Amino acid sequence: MNVEIKTIGVAGAGTMGSGIAQVFAQAGYTVSIYDQIPAMLQKAKSGIESNLAILVSKTKITEAEADSILGKISFTSDIENVKADFIIEAIIENLKAKQELFKELSILNPESILATNTSTIPVTQIAFGLPHPERVIGVHFFNPAQIMKLVEIISGIETTDEIAQLVYNMIQKCGKSPIKAKDAPGFIVNRVARPFYTESQKLVEEQVASVEDLDLLLESAGFKMGPFKLMDLIGNDVNFSVTKSLFEQFYYESRFRPSRIQEQLVSGGLLGRKSGRGFYKY
Ligand SMILES: NC(=O)c1ccc[n+]([C@@H]2O[C@H](COP(=O)([O-])OP(=O)(O)OC[C@H]3O[C@@H](n4cnc5c(N)ncnc54)[C@H](O)[C@@H]3O)[C@@H](O)[C@H]2O)c1
């Protein structure tokens, strides 16, 4: 196995994948980002370009550095082009889709480390059936990945300590603050943060307070974003599926019960910022 990580592959060029690709390119890695939908690659490219332009305007990087960072990223809709030492997937939050993708990637990359950015699917379950489950690991970035420092490094049952340490060191070199966690429902942050979302939605359902007032209240209490603004940023589809998954994994403990108001938004395509409307209109 290659112990030195030089090249990075990112599968999925949506909200998370594009930010993750930027993080690695900024840290000097050569990155190829893959998505099955070419339009998502275009969107990711312009998103990264505008993020870099902001850094230039704040004089955090020069224009030449921005060009060099963008030049490190190649965009592809052909999975055959994803050949890298370390590959992280940030595709749809669906076990079958992630397993199928990893099966294909592990044939193309028999020596590589395969990482998942899953929010709640057990890493051990994703690794099941793959030729090298000891090289499968959770690397959970937070949204927006290019800004948020925290990254959870999750070892599945079969992940070796050597791989976990290697990945931990690499993430630290990218300027992030990694923490190691074991494979448990919601890992750490999504478990601890669940009541922030579910209780806030219950308060709205019970007409105790409005979406706007709850956001204002929690922001005044020191949170950077209120729960409804944050759910719209995360994507209501993503946030709802995370809650559903935790609810199931905790054997239907009522404190993890998903909200009907969020389910209704998801079923109506009101996904948040990415669709132009969620709890708020954009
Ligand atoms: N959105 C968040 O705040 C957040 C935070 C942490 C982790 N996550 C996790 O990251 C992952 C991605 O979430 P997101 O919000 O970026 O989703 P997203 O919907 O914004 O993007 C997913 C992308 O994956 C692509 N895709 C889907 N299936 C694919 C496949 N089989 N092969 C290649 N590309 C495929 C889609 O075309 C899309 O561009 C999920 O597992 C999610 O749980 C999300």
- Hey, whose CA ends up nearest to atom 26 of ligand 1? 91
- What does the pLDDT look like over 148-169, one tens digit per residue? 999 999 999 999 999 999 999 9
Residues of the chain with pLDDT under 70: 1-3
**Regarding the domain delimited by 7-182, which CATH topology (the fold level of the hierarchy) does it fall under?**
Rossmann fold (3.40.50)
Nearest CA to ligand 1 atom 1: 234
Answer yes or no: 190 catalytic. yes
Query: Which of 20, 35, 80, 151 best tests ligand 1's pocket when mutated (most atoms within 8 Å of CB)?
Result: 35
Which pTM was predicted?
A: 0.92
Q: Are 91 and 63 in contact (CB under 8 A)?
A: no
Residue 217, pLDDT score: 98
CB burial string 4-40: b at 16+ within 10 A, e below: ebebbbbbbbbbbbbbbbbbbbbbebbbbbbbeeeeb
Identify the pLDDT of residue 2: 52
**Ligand 1 atom showing the smallest separation from residue 120 Cα:** 43
Distance CA 196, CA 7 (A): 37
Domain boundaries 191-275, corresponding CATH code: 1.10.1040.50
Domain chopping of the chain, boundaries: 7-182, 191-275
Q: What is the pLDDT of residue 1?
A: 54
CA-to-CA separations, 132 to 83, 84, 129, 152, in angstroms, rounded:
16, 16, 9, 21
Residue 85: helix, strand or coil by DSSP? coil
Q: Can 7-182 and 191-275 be said to share one CATH topology?
A: no
